[in-house]
C-alpha cells in the first residue's frame, strides 16, 4: 500500500466532536489508508469556518459536490440515520460511528439503500480492534462457557443525543456476541434517577447453548470508566483482563478496514457475516429497550 494510489476518494467529515476530530487527524496524517482518501472539508452545526486548515462546508454542498465521494458520520447517534440516508441517496459511500441507527429495521433499510446505490456502508466498531478484545478472543477460543458477566461503569450520557443505553453502549453487546455467538434476551430492567443523572441497566442474555450472560451498564456522576468481566468455563475462570497495552490508533485501524472495502478487498462472505452481527446486535438493543420501556 506504499505506492501512491491512482485514485483518491474525496471525503467529508460530518460532526467534529471527539470521534470527528480523531477522523480529521487520521485523514491528514500520512497513513497507508489515508493515501486513498482526500479530505475535502467538514460539516458542523456550529460556525467554525476551519479546523487546522480544513474548511467547513455546508451540508448541501457536501451532498451535491461531485468531489465528495465519501462521508464519515461522526455526529450524535440520534442524527446518524438521517445523515446516512441523505449521503447514500446522494450516491456517496458512508462510514458511520456506531450505532448506525436506533432500530434494526432502519439499519436493514439503509443497507438495502446502499446496495441499491452500489455504495459501501460501514459501521465503525473500534471496540473489536482493542488489545483487550484480541486477548479475550484468544482466551475464550475452544472453551465451553458456563456463565459470564460484563459490567461497564461511566459518567452520565444524555439519552436524547445518544439513544437508549442499549444502543449507546452497543459496543459491549458487540463484544459478547463476537465472543459467544448470537444471544437471546431473557430479561432486562432499567433503574433510573433522572434528577441524579443516574441509571443502571441490567440485561440477562443466554447463548445458543442456554448459558447465562449478564450485561450491566451503570452510569452516573462520579462513576469512572471501568470494565469488569468474569467468564466461567468448564476448564477454569477468567476474571478481568490483564493490562495488555495501550489501544493505539483504533480509529485508524477502522479506517483501514473501510478503505479495504472501498477497494473491493473484502469477500461477500465477510461482509455478510459482519452485517448479520450488526443487525443481530441492533435487534437485541431494540428488544432490551422494549423490555425496559414497554410504553414506547
Tell me, yes or no, if 171 is annotated catalytic.
yes
Domains detected in the chain: 9-124 (3.40.50.720), 128-245+284-292 (3.30.360.10)
Give the pLDDT of residue 241. Answer: 83
Q: Does 296 score more than 70 pLDDT?
A: no
Residues 120/258, Cβ–Cβ less than 8 Å? yes
Q: Does 115 score more than 60 pLDDT?
A: yes
103: left (phi over 0), alpha (psi -120 to 50) or beta: beta
Residue carrying the nine cell digits 456506531: 98
The reported pTM is 0.93
* pLDDT per position as a tens digit, 74-112: 999 999 999 999 999 999 999 999 999 999 999 999 999
Is 17 known as a binding-site position? Answer: yes
Tell me, yes or no, if 97 is annotated catalytic.
yes
Residue of 69, 123, 127, 132 marked active site:
127
Tell me, yes or no, if 192 is annotated catalytic.
no
Closest CA to 216 of 179, 183, 180, 187: 187
* pLDDT per position as a tens digit, 14-69: 999 999 999 999 999 888 898 999 999 999 998 888 788 899 999 999 999 999 99
Give the pLDDT of residue 276. Answer: 97
Tell me, yes or no, if 184 is annotated catalytic.
no
The dihedral built from the CA positions of residue 86, 90, 92 and 93, taken in this order, carries a sign that is: positive
Is 169 known as a binding-site position? Answer: no
ω into 214 cis (within 30 of 0):
no
Question: What would the mean pLDDT of 111-122 be, rounded to a whole number?
Answer: 97
Is 19 known as a binding-site position? Answer: yes
The dihedral built from the CA positions of residue 35, 36, 39 and 43, taken in this order, carries a sign that is: negative
Q: For the chain, how far is it from start to end, CA to CA, in angstroms? A: 49
* pLDDT per position as a tens digit, 138-193: 999 999 999 999 999 999 988 988 999 999 999 999 999 999 999 999 999 999 99
Tell me, yes or no, if 72 is annotated catalytic.
no
Is 77 known as a binding-site position? Answer: yes
Amino acid at each position: 500500500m506504499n505506492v501512491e494510489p491512482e485514485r483518491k476518494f474525496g471525503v467529508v467529515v460530518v460532526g467534529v466532536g471527539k470521534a470527528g476530530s480523531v477522523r480529521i487527524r487520521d485523514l491528514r496524517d500520512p497513513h497507508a489508508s489515508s493515501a486513498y482518501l482526500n479530505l475535502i472539508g467538514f460539516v458542523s452545526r456550529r460556525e467554525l469556518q476551519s479546523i487546522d486548515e480544513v474548511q467547513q462546508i455546508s451540508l448541501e454542498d457536501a451532498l451535491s459536490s461531485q468531489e465528495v465521494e465519501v462521508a464519515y458520520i461522526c455526529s450524535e447517534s440520534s442524527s446518524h440515520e438521517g445523515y446516512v440516508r441523505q449521503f447514500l441517496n446522494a450516491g456517496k459511500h458512508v462510514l458511520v460511528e456506531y450505532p448506525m441507527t436506533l432500530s434494526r429495521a432502519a439499519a436493514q433499510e439503509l443497507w438495502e439503500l446502499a446496495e441499491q446505490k452500489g455504495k459501501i456502508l460501514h459501521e465503525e466498531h473500534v471496540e473489536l480492534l482493542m488489545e483487550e478484545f484480541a486477548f479475550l478472543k484468544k482466551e475464550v477460543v475452544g472453551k465451553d462457557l458456563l456463565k459470564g458477566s460484563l459490567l461497564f461503569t461511566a459518567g452520565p450520557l444524555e439519552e436524547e443525543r445518544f439513544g437508549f443505553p442499549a444502543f449507546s453502549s452497543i459496543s459491549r453487546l458487540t463484544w459478547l456476541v463476537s465472543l459467544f455467538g448470537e444471544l437471546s434476551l431473557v430479561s432486562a430492567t432499567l433503574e433510573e434517577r433522572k434528577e441524579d443523572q443516574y441509571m443502571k441497566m441490567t440485561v440477562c442474555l443466554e447463548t445458543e447453548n442456554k448459558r447465562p450472560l449478564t450485561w450491566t451498564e451503570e452510569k452516573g456522576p462520579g462513576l469512572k470508566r471501568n470494565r469488569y468481566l468474569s467468564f466461567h468455563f468448564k476448564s477454569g475462570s477468567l476474571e478481568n483482563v490483564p493490562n495488555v497495552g495501550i489501544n493505539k490508533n483504533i480509529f485508524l485501524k477502522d479506517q483501514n478496514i473501510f478503505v479495504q472495502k472501498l477497494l473491493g478487498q473484502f469477500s461477500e462472505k465477510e461482509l455478510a457475516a459482519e452485517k448479520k452481527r450488526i443487525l443481530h446486535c441492533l435487534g437485541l438493543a431494540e428488544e432490551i429497550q422494549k423490555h425496559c420501556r414497554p410504553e414506547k
